[in-house]
Amino acid sequence: MTGEALKSTPLSASHVALGARMTPFAGYGMPVQYPAGILKEHLWTRAHAGLFDVSHMGPAWLELTSPSGDGEADHRAIAALIEPLVCGDIRGLKPGQLRYTLLLNDGGGMLDDLMIGRPANPELQGRLYVVVNAATKDADFAAIVARAGAAGRLIRADDGALIAVQGPQAADLLETLVPAALDLGFMTFATEAFEGASLTISRSGYTGEDGFEILAPAALAESLWTRLLADDRAAPVGLGARDSLRLEAGLPLYGHDADETISPIEASLGFAVSKRRLKARDFPGAARVASELAGGLTRVRIGLRVLEGAPAREGAQIAEPSGAIIGAVTSGGFSPSLGASIAMGYVPPAFAEPGTALKVLVRGRAQNAVVVAMPFVPHGYVRKPKT
């Protein structure tokens, strides 16, 4: 244990009451699993709806200090404050749209991956909804504040609760409680009045399933969590299954599959690099990204199916069939949905083609593996809501 006390979330008492096993994570005491266990929680989320407390993450609002009142102009102005830090097209966001993007350093390495959204409400233009990772949030927020200077103001919202509802029945769960959520399509968000307060709800998540992430004031957190959980289709899911779910979904975990030495192109996150921004070369590390896209790539993130033996976890070496080491696993483990071992790792592009036979070295033993396309388990995103 470190000397520093662990922070709690507005739902910590609920987790303990549910019998969760709590573990320190990014400075917070978080539920790693409930009595059902990681395997059942994982499979429940794929079949029904899992409830996750992700209040350790870093939601915040970035707003103009002096908005003009012209919505389009104010959006352009707030986008201009944050675009110098990220490689995404923030200016081009439509009202209500949420985008996955990357905070980069001058060398083109990733400082974090994050979500940035533009409010739908015409009254709220000149504001952005920002959600960053837990372990990196203080540094991220400091960088955003420094870049925005006097023109912008960052309002942290990480004293509230962030509840993720994930799975094919996630929408059913919200149907009576927050019906407006069902009008959202994948990667859009809205702020809705709720019992004298407001909820910011995005149709997004980290499991590959349809689902929502709900930012609620701390005072409402427990009541909302309890009511969601009262539904037979809902079960609480801890960080253990959150990790196995995102692995199956092919989603990188910052600090493992992505870090400050790895570029977006290496990480197979090229979709997060805006074409406009690339053409203008106006984001940190743009030169590296451009040269990698022009053929200068030396390593790339791939998916592996481990065909025999023990799961290949972070740090396991990847070898060609001849035995020469060509890379390493950055995260891996047992896939409950596939009943097989899967992994992500980095190899030179020549070995990245699906179907390529490789080896993973686990405790000195070379085990057969094959490169496969990600996601390992198909995504269940609902791009357009039912009308």
Partner 1 sequence: MMRFTKDHEWVDLVGDTATIGITAYAAEQLGDVVFVELPEAGKVIRTGEAMAVVESVKAASDVFAPVSGEVTAANGELGENPQTVNDQPEKSGWFVKIKVADPDEVDGLMDRAAYEIFLAGL
The least distance separating partner 1 from the CB of residue 362, rounded to whole angstroms, comes to 9
The least distance separating partner 1 from the CB of residue 5, rounded to whole angstroms, comes to 22
Q: Which residues, including other chains, have CB under 8 Å from residue 91's CB and lie 6 or more apart?
A: 75, 76, 79, 80, 83
Q: Which of residues 223-252 bind partner 1 (CB under 8 A)?
A: 240-241, 243-244
For partner 1 (CB under 8 A), the number of binding residues is 20
- Residue 119 CA to residue 97 CA, distance in Å, equals 7
Check the CA dihedral 245-120-62-177 and report its sign: negative
Contact code string over 344-373 relative to partner 1, x by CB under 8 A: -------------------x----------
Q: Where are the beta strands (DSSP E) in the chain?
A: 21-25, 28-33, 49-53, 58-64, 98-104, 110-117, 127-132, 152-156, 161-166, 189-194, 197-202, 211-216, 234-236, 300-306, 317-319, 325-335, 340-347, 357-362, 365-372
200 contacts 115 by C-beta, under 8 angstroms: no
Of 34-42, 52-60, 119-127, 258-266, the segment contacting partner 1 by CB under 8 A is 34-42
Of 2-10, 30-38, 274-282, 352-360, the segment contacting partner 1 by CB under 8 A is 30-38
* 147 makes contact with partner 1 (CB under 8 A): no
Q: What φ, ψ does residue 202 adopt, rounded to 5°? A: -115, 145
* 275 makes contact with partner 1 (CB under 8 A): no
Closer to partner 1 by CB, 32 or 171: give it. Answer: 32
The least distance separating partner 1 from the CB of residue 37, rounded to whole angstroms, comes to 5
Q: According to CB under 8 A, which one of 39, 145, 177, 372 is a site residue for partner 1?
A: 39
* 376 makes contact with partner 1 (CB under 8 A): no
- Residue 357 CA to residue 155 CA, distance in Å, equals 49
336 contacts 42 by C-beta, under 8 angstroms: yes
Q: Which residues, including other chains, have CB under 8 Å from residue 149's CB and lie 6 or more apart?
A: none
Check the CA dihedral 50-53-54-60 and report its sign: positive
Looking at residue 377, its amino acid is V
Closer to partner 1 by CB, 10 or 311: give it. Answer: 311
The two structure tokens encoding residue 64: 């103009």
Q: According to CB under 8 A, which one of 11, 15, 42, 231 is a site residue for partner 1?
A: 42
The least distance separating partner 1 from the CB of residue 245, rounded to whole angstroms, comes to 11
* 179 makes contact with partner 1 (CB under 8 A): no
Q: Which of residues 9-28 bind partner 1 (CB under 8 A)?
A: none
Q: Which of residues 300-329 bind partner 1 (CB under 8 A)?
A: 309-311, 313
Q: What φ, ψ does residue 353 adopt, rounded to 5°? A: -70, 130
* 257 makes contact with partner 1 (CB under 8 A): no
* 333 makes contact with partner 1 (CB under 8 A): yes
274 contacts 88 by C-beta, under 8 angstroms: yes
* 52 makes contact with partner 1 (CB under 8 A): no
The least distance separating partner 1 from the CB of residue 40, rounded to whole angstroms, comes to 8
The least distance separating partner 1 from the CB of residue 316, rounded to whole angstroms, comes to 10
Name the residues that contact partner 1, by CB under 8 A: 32-33, 37-40, 42, 240-241, 243-244, 309-311, 313, 333-334, 336, 341, 363
